[in-house]
Each structure stands twice: as C-alpha cells, then as structure tokens.
Amino acid sequence: MITTPPQPGKSLLSTFTSLRQRNFRLFWSGQIISQLGSQMQAIGQAWLVLLLTHSAWQIGLVGALQALPILLFSLFGGVFADRWPKRRVLLVTQSVATIQALLLWILIVTGTLQLWHLYSLAFLLGLTYSMGRPASRAFVVEMVGRADLPNAVALNSSLSSLARIVGPALGGLIIAVSGVPMLFLLNALSFLPVIVGLALIKSHELYAQVRQQRGVDEQQSTWQSVREGMDYVWQTPAVLLVILVVGLVLLFGANFDVVLPLIVTDVLHVGATGLGLLSTANGVGALLSALWLAWSNRKPTIRYVLLGMLIFALLEVIFALTHIYLLSLLLIASVGFTEEAFAAPAMTMLQMVTPDHLHGRVISVQVLFFDGSLPLGYLLIGWLAGLFGPSNALLIGALLTLLVVGAGWLGRKPAENSMKHEIH
C-alpha cells in the first residue's frame, strides 16, 4: 500500500518532490519546451489554413483530422507501450513528430505548401499522439514510483496548463515579428530537448521494468492484447467507473471553448479582449490547481474525484446563467481549477490501480475516453448552440454532467471496494 506523505509543515518545495528523481527531472524538463512548441504549432496551423482557404470550416476539418487518430488508434498505442520499453516508444514518436514539423517548415519556406499537405501532416501528428500518449502517461509511474505518482502527474498537468496559457500568445508574437516559417522551425527544434532527455534516462533506475512478465504475452496477437486490456477495464469497478464517468463529464462539460466567442459577444458584450482574458483565466485556474495537487501529493479517492466533478458541474451551471463579466471571469477560473482537480487525480488513480504489465493498455483506454471525448463534445455543444443559443447549450451540457456525476455517486461502492484490493 502507498502511504500519504505527512502534510503538516510542508514547504512550497514539496510541490516539486518528484523532481528529485533524475529520470523524471530529465523527462519533465524536456516537456517544458516541447509543449510550448506544440501550442505554438496549433496557432500556426490554424493561421496557415486561414491564409490558404479563409474558411473556418477548413480550420475545424484540419483539427478533426489531427484528433481522429486518437479515436482510431490509441488502443493500439497502449499495446505497443506494454510490449516494448516505453522510453523506446517515446523516442520513436517524438522523432516522427520532429520530422513532421520539419516537413511542414520546408513546405512553407519553399512555397510549395498545399492544403492536402496540411491534411496529411495533421493526421500524421495525430497518429504520433495516439501512439505516444499512452506510453508517455504510463511511463510516469515507472520513473517516479507510486509514492510520488500524484505529485508527478500534477506536475505534468501543470506544464500542459502553462503551455496553454503562454503558447498561443508566444505563437502569435512570433508570427507577428518573424513570420509563420520561424514558428514552425522553432516547433521542430522544440522536440530536441525531449529526445535528448529520453536518451539520457537510465533504464536500470526505473521503478517498474516490465517487459512481458508472462510468457503468454509474447505470443498474443495485437487484438488479443487489446482485448486483455479492455477485459481488465471492464472487470475492475474502480477503473471502469473512473474512465466512464470522467470521460462523459469531459464530453458534456469540458467543451466551453467552442461557444466562448459567442458568450463573449452575445451575452457578456466585452469583445476580443474579454475573450482573451476569459481563456487566460481558465488556464490560470488549471495551473494553480495542478500546482496545489503537486504540493499536496495525496493519494486520490473515488469520492474525491466525484466531488470535484460535482463542483465543476455546479460552477458551469452558474457560468451559463450569469451575464456579469467579472463574475464570469472568476467562475471560468474556478471551472479550470476544478476540472484539473478531478482529471489529474483520476489519471493518478488509474495508474495506481493497474498492474504494471497492463499500464499502457489501460492508459490507452483513458486516452480514448478522456482525450477522444473532447472533439465529440465540441461537435455536440456546437450543435446545441445552433439550436438553443450558447448559454443554453452550456447549461444543457452542465446538467448532463450533473446526471452523470449523480449516477457515478450511486454506483461508487463497488468501485471503492475495488480500490481497497486493487492498488499494487
């Protein structure tokens, strides 16, 4: 069993506890630059599509092509993460992502870029995400062990939140000062710190060096391996509840980005500056939450995750109903805080419960339901906004979220009992 570190007298340095470990420190440091580059590329990619087509629909299509491989192939990424050393899988996927960024840069500087190139390269990048994310998330527990896992997951989440705040603004500044080609060159170079960090990781210092603990795994087909991971998820109440409930909450509730421009113009009447501040407030809330989770380094519980989702849904209900800009600013920061406060512990819990030889496959199911739910949620909330208006669309999503959380609360007992016996 994992013991929760004592809380009294903790210093702020406790926020970075897992960075004491060299392997994770190398991995985390490389991710700082890489995630900024990825957020910059997202802005640059949308800008390129706009220059080529002047079509919002085409921007959405390129984004959908990038997200599609996560829905189609992430389960196979989990199989690869369990069959091969996760460090090797990440070296391959990061190298492919570097090549993708370099190809895009070359096409731009040579003046040969066409729309189909963007389609193809966006799909390729999505494919690297579908293969790399299960390995990346499952690799964390191998680098830090289970005692520091809540801290490490939260620190990783803090990087994502920081990149989401800084990356778009930095990308826009680079485009304005140096042009689109420079942005994509810098993005390609941003993968190098990750690759170097992965190359320097010492495999013999990993906490879990699992490579087919059972001989039968060597003989399994890819489909049999996928089935084994799915069977484990289905037969383990704690894992099943977390994946289903959190996935549905993200589907219905974590999609306000789509209607935020409409909320700003039609409801709050504050314009582009107000939109930027709302987006930044949401990111700042998520960042503060991740740092708080890292500082506390507590073992998560089913009840804690459910309560976090309940507060998240209630805050969204109030946000959907308010017409006061300053209140909306405070609420959306709180929504970002609470979303991080249940999503990161949910990911931590899955890794704590799952046995080492299934980590990649279980995390791939989590990637499918957590990450894959977002594009579907965007489509849903956009459709509802077209029918009922942006505020009502958000309200419907928040109410559906409350229903999901209520169902999860009613069915939590088997999951809580499962947690007592499944933590390895």
pLDDT tens figures, 98-122: 999 999 999 999 999 999 999 999 9
Quickly name the fold that domain 222-424 has.
Growth Hormone; Chain: A; (1.20.1250)
Structure-token pair, residue 91: 């070296």
Alpha-carbon gap, residue 246 to 405, rounded angstroms: 9
Alpha-carbon gap, residue 102 to 118, rounded angstroms: 13
Domain boundaries, the chain: 16-206, 222-424
- Please state the rounded mean pLDDT for residues 308-312: 97
pLDDT tens figures, 237-269: 999 999 999 999 999 998 887 788 888 888 888
Alpha-carbon gap, residue 413 to 417, rounded angstroms: 6
Q: If you write DSSP's letter for every residue of 99-143 in order, what string do you get?
A: HHHHHHHHHHHTT---HHHHHHHHHHHHHHHHHHHHHHHHHHHHH
6: pLDDT confidence band, cut at 50, 70 and 90?
very low
Structure-token pair, residue 107: 């096409």
Q: Provide the angle, in degrees to the nearest 10, between the axes of the packed helices 115-144 and 22-53.
A: 160
Alpha-carbon gap, residue 172 to 191, rounded angstroms: 20
Structure-token pair, residue 304: 């804690």
213: pLDDT confidence band, cut at 50, 70 and 90?
very low
C-alpha closest to that of 364 among 28, 136, 160, 165: 136
Per-residue model confidence (pLDDT) at position 214: 45
Per-residue model confidence (pLDDT) at position 215: 43
Alpha-carbon gap, residue 362 to 348, rounded angstroms: 12
CATH of the domain spanning 16-206, picked from 3.40.50.300, 1.10.3720.10, 1.20.1250.20, 3.40.50.970: 1.20.1250.20
Residue at 361: amino acid letter: R
pLDDT tens figures, 135-158: 999 999 999 998 899 999 999 999
Alpha-carbon gap, residue 338 to 241, rounded angstroms: 19
Structure-token pair, residue 410: 């009613």
C-alpha closest to that of 102 among 189, 40, 195: 189
The answer to whether 73 touches 363, Cβ cutoff 8 Å, is no
Query: CA end-to-end span of the chain, whole Å?
Result: 7
- Please state the rounded mean pLDDT for residues 199-224: 71
Q: If you write DSSP's letter for every residue of 37-98 in order, what string do you get?
A: HHHHHHHHHHHHHHHHH--HHHHHHHHHHHHHHHHHHHHHHHHHHHHS-HHHHHHHHHHHHH
The answer on pLDDT for 399 being more than 80 is: yes
The answer on pLDDT for 309 being more than 90 is: yes
Per-residue model confidence (pLDDT) at position 5: 47
pTM here is 0.87
The answer on pLDDT for 209 being more than 60 is: no
Q: Do domains 16-206 and 222-424 have the same CATH topology?
A: yes
Per-residue model confidence (pLDDT) at position 4: 44
- What percent of the chain is modeled with pLDDT above 90? 59
- What percent of the chain is modeled with pLDDT above 70? 93
Give, for 146, the enclosing helix (H) or strand (E): none
The answer on pLDDT for 421 being more than 70 is: no
Q: Give the chain's radius of gyration (CA, Å).
A: 21
pLDDT tens figures, 27-80: 999 999 999 988 888 888 888 888 888 776 787 788 888 888 998 999 999 999
Per-residue model confidence (pLDDT) at position 40: 87
Alpha-carbon gap, residue 372 to 71, rounded angstroms: 6
4 vs 141, more confident: 141
172: pLDDT confidence band, cut at 50, 70 and 90?
confident
3: pLDDT confidence band, cut at 50, 70 and 90?
very low
- Please state the rounded mean pLDDT for residues 219-227: 84
> CB pairs under 8 A, 24+ apart, for 264-271?
266/389, 266/390, 267/323, 267/390, 267/391, 268/323, 268/325, 268/328, 270/325
The answer on pLDDT for 273 being more than 80 is: no
